[in-house]
Structure 1
Amino acid sequence: MKGDMVYINEVKPLNANGSIKLNGPSGSLPTQMTDDWVTGAIDRLRQTGDAAAMQTADIIQAAKDNGKLVKLVTGVDSQGATVVKLGGAK
């Protein structure tokens, strides 16, 4: 969180050509970082029964509902990191 914005950051290896590959749909999980994936992550956090996880789910849901959620993917390699904003709040 920064200010009233909530950031979700998925970290992946940065490929030699500079690309980043997110996991595609698998079983009951949609493609990583899609809106459906975020909704599923919120649901999985709530289902844990853990108070801190459920609070995190509520924070993410509120940010999503209010246009305050930003999705990022960070690609890392031995040279450093590259961050890509996937959309969301401006």
Structure 2
Amino acid sequence: MKTIKFNNVELTEETILKTREYFYNVCIECVNGAINNEFYVNNVDNYIQFKKEDAESYINGEFDHVLSFIQKAYYIQTGKNIPLLK
């Protein structure tokens, strides 16, 4: 696994795995919300397919380099939420 550093903190493998799981679960919650009509979606089938693909991408580490992922990982590891861009 590639080392990721943010705000002079090296994110641990455990943190990266927890963050992947977090985003995976968010995607699955979105799928369930669409299925249960908890919010409006133009095309439910396409939305569900898109979110399921996103979930798999997150769990496989394809979004580890994305700023929002790194910020969430930093928060999970440190409990601190700092802005990425000032």
Relative to the length of structure 1, the TM-score reads: 0.33
Q: Quick check: which one's strand share is greater?
A: 1
Relative to the length of structure 2, the TM-score reads: 0.33
